[in-house]
């Protein structure tokens, strides 16, 4: 932590700052520059890095503080250099293979979910998705079949032997969703819902955490830290998912942050999945972005697939048809082969 | 709703689109332009505007859709032209007066919260704030005193006769927070936590909803709609709070969207409060932004005040000292007088 | 053009609006909705779409206007459906092959530019780049060798038989840069410097137009329109280049808008190049983003290469070493083969 | 400058970094932390701060660099603590008074510009504006009357005794615009057109520099530095103008960055003007934002005024009527009185 003092910082103010640092058993290294004086603080912050940062920021005489250490620990590579592989239902996510997560936006009926499960399984998907609790911008929109939907999803996945991932939105629903799902999804809108993060963390189950539209990479990893810090078994069974950040152009729903994939791979050991369906919101762009994600090193691609998009109760505009998905999987495989060895993993 | 057809839209595709519209009892008005054909859809969408929008978007032959009607109803001025005044504990928010909400980031101790309550009350505040459940980026940071904090807050507010507002983060905590608080706050990070919005809506209590950093004005009003649609008494006891959106410059924590104040006043009847403390994150800028907010027509200003900012457990950097706050209130009053009559209200 | 009237629009105001429309020989189709009245305007706007839009927006009684037609013509696919192939010095850009543009940020010396030209040529590049007029944030930084640099660049490119592209920043420099360059580059900072766009347009030379960090896709195409509308020969010898937009995360210099590639390919006939060097600003991420760009369908990849990045006078941090570039080209070729036929072109 | 070394930084790499620093006559202060090693570099960078930063960033072994010193000098308060007052034609900008800059978007005709000059002068404006060279998104839109427009503007301003400000877009037009204008305006789209900045700097004339929509505060001050560094007389006759940055919400044209006013006042001595017309793009919001700007401490307010907005050749939607402007000026004066003494200046 590097504290830059204000030009008009008094001797007393500086002494107070140094006293706080020494009280926390940190060494203080002053550097007197031509225009500025900085204090380098060194030592073990004992998980109080954020608190100390806030404390110093509020002290008189402090102009600004630069962080040197990262505020996350369990999510970072410093303490956990090896790549994490999340195993669920026989599928390994993050081992260098390409995981295909697919399914409809929402579970709508038994017939619908079973037929799509068969189709995406045949196409080559290995994790099945479908929403039973749906976050909807409008309170008047279809918001999911709840426990009935969970049961249908579970059964449909079970029939074709695919583990299922589904979103949980409310701490109170964590138990029921945990009974049916193999992976708990925390959606982008709840990425900073810390109560929910901690609750899903405590289950010990695999979690897929989607990046919020306004979340920096550090924000995402701090949310991951909330999940990981609640694991009793210390197993970091957590998958990160990029699904687009807020942008200023209406051509796509969100702005796909493709470089998040290599950035995350450098600083975290957790697997990284791309969701081009929500990132773009437009069917025509899902394929190109999926292929780009594979080329950029994603560990998996998450795609919305519906057999009757125009009858879908949500997100029809961005859903691929099963045929389109099957073709895309072949192309993704070709691109994955083309970049073999570029991204060592697993 | 205006549907623009793709150039290569077939007769069958167009017939299918028109059939869906007519099935929903909407009139179809085609307009054949030089380059494009559009269909104007007219009628009563019966709260299914969002669903219909999604449905049409997913149909083959549709190039794009322009919304004409707004997707919110209870939050908008169309159905509720008169300004809403939220009364709580003798304070009227939105009646043309200037409401002063103030207090520390977090309730830290009985001594701390009582002394700050006295100070801000003396300075002229009329609603007291303090966090007992704190959303913290880091899982290792102080996250509030929970029910003990609620009790201290309630008692401190009671002593000086100020209603209290405090954040609730988890649907499971709504009952306990409701017992102590006069106004339930939904924080920016939970603005799209629809479960929480509905839960606080059902209590019938006054709610202060803070705008998320990535939320458009429409997003904010849709979240308001989630709250309002759960009110059995139909009383729109909801206050909106602007606290900065995501920006690209590190000089301030967020980018204060000052124009949100007049924009909201034009399209919603709900009172609008500005929180310059969280919006800027820097003590020096809180005053200028508070004054600007009053000049722009805000119904209230929400300020973090701490008597020992450098010992605060959170947000010390942005907290005003009680003296600074007292001075600022006088200035705000002067500016409020200077704009009297510019913003008719109440 | 769809004009939504204000609820309180008077009969006279509406009559005035309709009169203006009819005066411009546009047909007026009114649609009376439950809550709103809209006027659909149909006819030939004769290039005055933007002006008419502005005019109507300023008229009393108008609530908002939706554009249906696109404001660009020469840059769009409506009037020019076939893909444009830009030929320069034997290289075809946009014909389905992958163009490799490479070279240092700046021309620094004859030795430097010649050795890099040899290295990137050997690696497989087919267009050579290097800056002689450099836009620099600081007035105290190296700003290029000017005409000497142009001569060195031209000679170095000529020796290995590569056409050269270089930036022009000032209308007054267009003649001198045109004498040495094969392609004139307009940089991101000058994307809305309309004088410069028109000046390079008038030369008739091939132009590479980089997207500004705050430019929407429509903004970019409107700037392209400025160039194209000045061509006497009507040949759209213009290449678009995505190089990242403004974002809110410091992990990378800009936010690579990867989906701009398929979006642009859908709405414009012009070739699209990706510049992952400026988009990311970090050497480690250039490779993954280059591969992603190829997978997303880019017509070319623009990479900064320097043989001694730590001695580079600019952008060393994002420059690849020649060896890294040679390896990357092989990988890009493999990905390009893997997506063959996905993006029909040429 | 604080350099954080990579964990795997070798002894040789570190030695090379230190050698470069010492070669530049900088002292090196290493601080060995628990997880990281940083090198504090101290000394006189002699205007080469930016270059050194780039150089170190490109060196192997460097993880990241934190700037401590600011890269601007002439624009900052360190070397120039006293507030700058720009005097032009008897008007003092930045002396604590409130400057009123007003006029139409474009000079359209002699009759138009003279009548508006009279009206805004009567309303209380003291600087007259009007565009003769207009940057237009579309090449088919009206782009100004050029020198004829300059003459009309000059004459109209002269008649009522107001100095005039007008935009120059092309380095080649600087001489002609300088002959007619009292203040040269560099528009937001050209804020990073460094050739233009240097050219207007060399004239020695007062300049008004508008902030680009994607410019950080530091970017703006670096562009100011380009102007100031070309002044032979060292007189910093430069006015900064906030006119909105890029946002994600369509309710307003840009996102008014109100906090830029106090931020700039803290770090630069140059006067700061707000332009709520371009910032919001909507007539109804111009007044509230103008009042907010005054309350936030702006040295001047720049407003577009037109007597027949619906016939304006540009920006009619955001132009105030003369009556509205006259009323607004009275309100601004009242707010200015209400904040007297809050912002010491001049």
C60, C71, C142: residue with CB nearest D51: C142
pLDDT band at C346 (very low <50, low <70, confident <90, very high): low
Task: Report the pLDDT value the prediction gives residue D346, as an integer from 0 to 100.
Answer: 62
B48, B170, B225: residue with CB nearest A171: B170
What percent of chain A has a predicted confidence (pLDDT) above 70? 99
Q: Could you say which of 3.20.10.10, 3.20.20.70, 3.30.70.600, 3.40.1440.10 is the CATH number of the domain covering A86-338? A: 3.20.20.70
Of A105-119, A169-183, C6-20, D235-249, where does mean pLDDT reach its minimum?
A: C6-20
Strand A91-93 and strand C27-32: the pairing is unpaired
pLDDT digits (tens, 9 = 90+) for C315-340: 889 999 999 999 999 999 999 999 99
Start-to-end C-alpha separation, chain D: 33
Interface A:C, Cβ pairs < 8 A: 128
Measured between beta carbons, the chain C residues lying within 8 angstroms of B69 are: 33, 35-36
Instruction: Supply φ then ψ for residue C3, to 5 degrees.
Output: -100, 120
**Domain-wise residue ranges, chain D:** 2-66, 86-338
Of A13-22, B119-128, B187-196, C286-295, where does mean pLDDT reach its minimum?
A: A13-22
Smallest CA–CA distance, residue D14 to chain A, in Å, is 18
Supply the pTM of this predicted model.
0.95
Q: What CA–CA distance (Å, rounded) separates D276 from B253?
A: 22
Q: C332: which 2 tokens? A: 């890009």
Contact A285 C293 (CB under 8 A): no
Q: Which chain A residue shows the shortest CA-CA distance from D213? A: A248
Start-to-end C-alpha separation, chain A: 33
Residues 6+ apart with CB under 8 A from D209: D185, D186, D191, D197, D220, D223, D224, D227, D238, D239, D240, D241
Q: Which helix (H) or strand (E) holds B106?
A: none
Residue scoring higher pLDDT (D22 or A240):
A240
Contact C255 A257 (CB under 8 A): yes
Measured between beta carbons, the chain D residues lying within 8 angstroms of A73 are: none
Chains contacting D (3+ CB pairs below 8 angstroms): A, B, C
Residue scoring higher pLDDT (C59 or B152):
B152
Of B99-108, D145-154, D231-240, where does mean pLDDT reach its minimum?
A: D231-240
Task: Report the pLDDT value the prediction gives residue B346, as an integer from 0 to 100.
Answer: 62
Q: Is pLDDT above 90 for D345?
A: no
Residue whose C-alpha is closest to residue D206's, from D87, D103, D76: D87
CA angle D57, D61, D66 (to 5 degrees): 45
Q: C303: which 2 tokens? A: 């990479």
Smallest CA–CA distance, residue C280 to chain A, in Å, is 8
Question: Under an 8 Å CB criterion, which residues of C touch B?
Answer: 2, 4, 7, 29, 31-36, 38, 40, 42-44, 66, 68-69, 78, 246-248, 250
Q: Which chain A residue shows the shortest CA-CA distance from D249? A: A248
Contact B317 A222 (CB under 8 A): no
Interface B:C, Cβ pairs < 8 A: 61
Whole-angstrom CA distances from A172 to A210, B176, D72 are: 20, 15, 54
What percent of chain C has a predicted confidence (pLDDT) above 90? 79
Q: C174: which 2 tokens? A: 């267009």
Question: Under an 8 Å CB criterion, which residues of C touch A?
Answer: 214, 216-217, 245, 247-252, 255-259, 261-263, 266, 279-280, 284-285, 287-289, 291-297, 331, 334-335, 337-339, 342-343
Query: How much is the mean pLDDT over chain D?
Result: 94
A2, A69, A246: residue with CB nearest D248: A246
Measured between beta carbons, the chain A residues lying within 8 angstroms of D248 are: 246-248
Is A294 within 8 Å of A276 (Cβ atoms)? no
Nearest-Å Rg of the Cα atoms of chain D is 23
Of B67-76, B84-93, D88-97, where does mean pLDDT reach its minimum?
A: B67-76
Contact B288 D337 (CB under 8 A): no
pLDDT band at A346 (very low <50, low <70, confident <90, very high): low
Mutate to test the interface with D, among A3, A68, A247 (most CBs of D within 10 A): A68
Contact B262 D248 (CB under 8 A): no
Contact B36 C246 (CB under 8 A): no
Smallest CA–CA distance, residue B89 to chain A, in Å, is 30
Is C253 within 8 Å of C282 (Cβ atoms)? yes
Smallest CA–CA distance, residue D10 to chain C, in Å, is 16
Of A16-20, A328-332, B251-255, D212-216, where does mean pLDDT reach its minimum?
A: A16-20
Residue whose C-alpha is closest to residue A221's, from A240, A204, A244: A240
Is C107 within 8 Å of C154 (Cβ atoms)? no
Measured between beta carbons, the chain B residues lying within 8 angstroms of D255 are: 245, 247, 255, 257, 259
- Over residues D321-338, the mean pLDDT reads 98
- Give the long-range contacts of residues C14-19, CB within 8 A, separation 24 or more: C14/C39, C14/C61, C16/C59, C16/C60, C16/C61, C16/D310, C17/C56, C17/C59, C17/C61, C17/C62
Question: Under an 8 Å CB criterion, which residues of D touch A?
Answer: 2, 4, 7, 29, 31-36, 38, 40, 42-44, 66, 68-69, 78, 246-248, 250
Contact A78 D35 (CB under 8 A): yes
Q: Is pLDDT above 70 for A274?
A: yes
What percent of chain A has a predicted confidence (pLDDT) above 90? 79
Smallest CA–CA distance, residue D215 to chain C, in Å, is 9
pLDDT digits (tens, 9 = 90+) for C123-160: 999 999 999 999 999 998 899 999 999 999 999 999 99
Measured between beta carbons, the chain A residues lying within 8 angstroms of C262 are: 284-285, 288-289
Q: What CA–CA distance (Å, rounded) separates B211 from A214?
A: 13
Contact B33 C42 (CB under 8 A): yes
CB atoms within 10 A of CB A345: 14
Chains contacting C (3+ CB pairs below 8 angstroms): A, B, D
Q: Is pLDDT above 90 for A277?
A: yes
Q: Is pLDDT above 80 for B101?
A: yes
C142, C171, C222: residue with CB nearest D170: C171
Of A292-306, B299-313, C288-302, D39-53, where does mean pLDDT reach its minimum?
A: D39-53
Asked if domains D2-66 and D86-338 share a fold, the reply is no
Identify any residues that bridge with C259 across adjacent strands, giving them in sequence order.
Answer: none
pLDDT band at B263 (very low <50, low <70, confident <90, very high): very high
Q: Is pLDDT above 80 for B48?
A: no
Query: SS3 sequence, chain D?
Result: CEEEECCCCCHHHHHHHHHHHHHCCCEEEEEECCCCEEEEEECCCCCCHHHHHHHHHCCCCEEEEECCCCCCCCCECCCCCCCCCEEECCEEECCCCCEEEEECCECCCHHHHHHHHHHHHHHCCCEEECECCCCCCCCCCCCCCHHHHHHHHHHHHHHHCCCEEEECCCHHHHHHHHHHCCEEEECHHHCCCHHHHHHHHHHCCCEEEECCCCCCHHHHHHHHHHHHCCCCCCCCCEEEEECCECCCCCCCCCECECCHHHHHHHHECCCEEECHHHHHCCHHHHHHHHHHHHHCCCCEEEEEECCCHHHCCCCHHHCECHHHHHHHHHHHHHHHHHCCCCCCCC
Measured between beta carbons, the chain A residues lying within 8 angstroms of D28 are: none
Measured between beta carbons, the chain D residues lying within 8 angstroms of A36 are: 68-69
Q: Is pLDDT above 80 for C47?
A: no
- The superfamily (CATH) of domain B2-66 is Phospho-2-dehydro-3-deoxyheptonate aldolase; domain 1 (3.30.70.1140)
Task: Report the pLDDT value the prediction gives residue A70, as an integer from 0 to 100.
Answer: 84
Whole-angstrom CA distances from D236 to A28, D109, D240, D300 are: 40, 34, 11, 17
Strand A272-274 and strand A238-242: the pairing is parallel
- Over residues A140-161, the mean pLDDT reads 96
- Over residues B261-284, the mean pLDDT reads 97
Q: Which chain A residue shows the shortest CA-CA distance from B196? A: A170
Start-to-end C-alpha separation, chain B: 33
Question: What b/e readout covers D160-192, taking b as 16+ CB neighbours within 10 angstroms?
Answer: bebbbbbbbbbbebbebbbebbbbbbbbbbbbb
Measured between beta carbons, the chain C residues lying within 8 angstroms of A337 are: 338
Q: Is pLDDT above 80 for D48?
A: no
């Amino acid at each position: 932590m590097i504290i830059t003092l204000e030009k008009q910082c008094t001797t007393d103010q500086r002494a107070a700052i140094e006293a706080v640092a020494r009280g926390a058993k940190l060494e203080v290294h002053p550097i007197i520059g031509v225009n500025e004086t900085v204090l380098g603080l060194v030592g073990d912050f004992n998980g109080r890095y954020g608190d100390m940062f806030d404390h110093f920021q509020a002290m008189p005489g402090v102009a600004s503080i630069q962080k040197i250490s990262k505020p996350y620990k369990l999510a970072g590579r410093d303490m956990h250099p090896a790549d994490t592989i999340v195993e669920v239902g026989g599928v390994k996510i993050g081992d260098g293979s390409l995981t295909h997560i697919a399914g409809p936006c929402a579970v709508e009926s038994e017939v619908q979910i079973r037929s799509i499960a068969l189709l995406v399984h045949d196409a080559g998907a290995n994790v099945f998705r479908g929403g039973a609790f749906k976050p909807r911008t409008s309170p008047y929109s279809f918001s999911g079949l709840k426990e009935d939907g969970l049961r249908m999803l579970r059964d449909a996945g079970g029939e074709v032997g695919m583990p299922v991932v589904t979103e949980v939105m409310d701490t109170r629903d964590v138990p029921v969703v945990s009974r049916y799902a193999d992976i708990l999804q925390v959606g982008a809108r709840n990425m900073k819902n810390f109560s929910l993060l901690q609750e899903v963390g405590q289950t010990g189950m695999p979690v897929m955490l989607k990046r919020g539209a306004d979340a920096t990479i550090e924000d995402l990893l701090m949310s991951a830290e909330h999940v990981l810090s609640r694991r009793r078994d210390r197993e970091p069974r957590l998958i990160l998912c990029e699904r687009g950040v807020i942008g200023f152009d209406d051509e796509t729903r969100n702005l796909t942050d493709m470089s998040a994939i290599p950035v995350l791979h450098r600083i975290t050991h957790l697997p990284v999945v791309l969701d081009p369906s929500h990132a773009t919101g437009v069917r025509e762009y899902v394929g190109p972005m999926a292929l780009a994600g594979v080329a950029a090193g994603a560990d998996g691609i998450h795609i919305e697939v519906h057999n009757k998009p125009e009858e879908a109760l949500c997100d029809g505009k961005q859903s691929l048809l099963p045929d389109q998905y099957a073709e895309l999987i072949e192309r993704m495989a070709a691109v994955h082969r083309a970049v073999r060895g570029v991204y060592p993993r697993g």
